[in-house]
Every structure is written in C-alpha cells, then in structure tokens.
C-alpha cells in the first residue's frame, strides 16, 4: 500500500478508458467517449486524492468518549 497503488490504479483506469474509446457505441460516439473517459478520470482523481491524504497522515484521530467495555 503506497504511492504505487495510485499509479497502478491510474494505469488500470487508462487501459479501461482506451478500451472503451475503441469499443464505444457507434451512435453518439463522441458523447459516449467523452462522458465515460471523463467520468473515469474524475472518479479516479477523487479517489486518488482521498487515498493519498490518508497515506502518510500527519495527525491521528483523537477521542475521549470511548468506553472500555465497548472496545472489541
């Protein structure tokens, strides 16, 4: 689990996008291609940013309302 995970997913997303680009339906092709690849790209970005923030966090969660009997 590291930065390489992000690169790996990026690579996968690129491959999926390319495959879809080629296989896109003939009707409304531009719309299909643009919509699907752009969605994939934005969803990837969002995930990657969320993942990266938690990769090497500088602060840790802190709470004082836990009770010993509820900890597994």
Partner 1 sequence: MSAVETVPKDEAMFRSAVMSLVQLYIPQEIARDAVYTLGQLGIVQFRDLNSETNSFQRTFVDEIRRLDNVQRQYRYFFKLLQKHNIPLYEGAIEQYDRPSNLNDANIMSQLIVPPSTSAIDDHVQNAALLEQRLVQMEEATEQIEAQKVDLEQYRIVLQSGDQFFQSGDSMALAATATVVDLEDTLRRSSITINFVTGIIPRDKINTFEQILWRVLRGNLFFKHIEIEQPIFDVKTQSYIAKNAFIVYSHGDLILDRIKRIAESLDAHLYEIDKNPESRSQKLLKINENLSDLYTVLQSTTTTLESELFGIGQELNSWYQDIAREKSTYETLNKFNFDKNRKTLIAEGWIPEDELSFLKDCLVQMTSKLGVDVPSIIQVLGTNKTPPTFHRLNKFTQAFQSICDSYGVPQYREVNPGLPTIVTFPFMFAIMFGDMGHGFIMTMAALVFVLNEKKFDRMKRGEILDMAYTGRYIILFMGLFSMYTGFLYNDIFSRSMTLFKSGWEWPEDFKAGEMLYAKKVGTYPIGIDWAWHGAENSLLFSNSYKMKLSIVMGFIHMTYSYMFSLVNHLHFKSMIDIVANFIPGLLFMQGIFGYLSVCIIYKWSVDWIGDGKAAPGLLNMIINMFLAPGTIDEELYPHQAKVQIFLLGMALLCVPWLLLMKPLHFKFTHSEKKNSFPTADDIETQALLHDENEDEIAETEGTIAANNDSEEGEGHGEELGDVIIHQVIHTIEFCLNCVSHTASYLRLWALSLAHAQLSSVLWSMTLELSFGVPGALGVFMTVSLFTLWFCLTIAVLVMMEGTSAMLHSLRLHWVESMSKYFVGDGIPYEPFVFQYLDMETDVANNAGNIAA
Binding residues (CB under 8 A) for partner 1: these are: 1, 3, 26-31, 34-35, 38-39, 42-43, 45-47, 49-68, 71
Decide if 37 contacts 21 (C-beta within 8 A).
yes
* Comparison of 15 and 38: residue with beta carbon closer to partner 1: 38
- Least separation in angstroms between residue 49's CB and partner 1 is 5
* Comparison of 3 and 15: residue with beta carbon closer to partner 1: 3
Lookup: tokens for 19: 């495959």
Say how far apart CA 52 and CA 61 lie, in whole Å. Answer: 17
């Amino acid at each position: 689990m590291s930065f390489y995970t992000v690169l790996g997913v990026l690579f996968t997303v690129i491959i999926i996008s390319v495959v879809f680009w080629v296989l896109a339906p003939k009707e409304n092709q531009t719309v299909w291609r643009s919509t699907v690849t752009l969605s994939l790209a934005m969803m990837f970005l969002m995930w990657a940013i969320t993942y990266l923030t938690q990769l090497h966090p500088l602060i840790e969660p802190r709470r004082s309302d836990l009770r010993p009997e509820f900890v597994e």
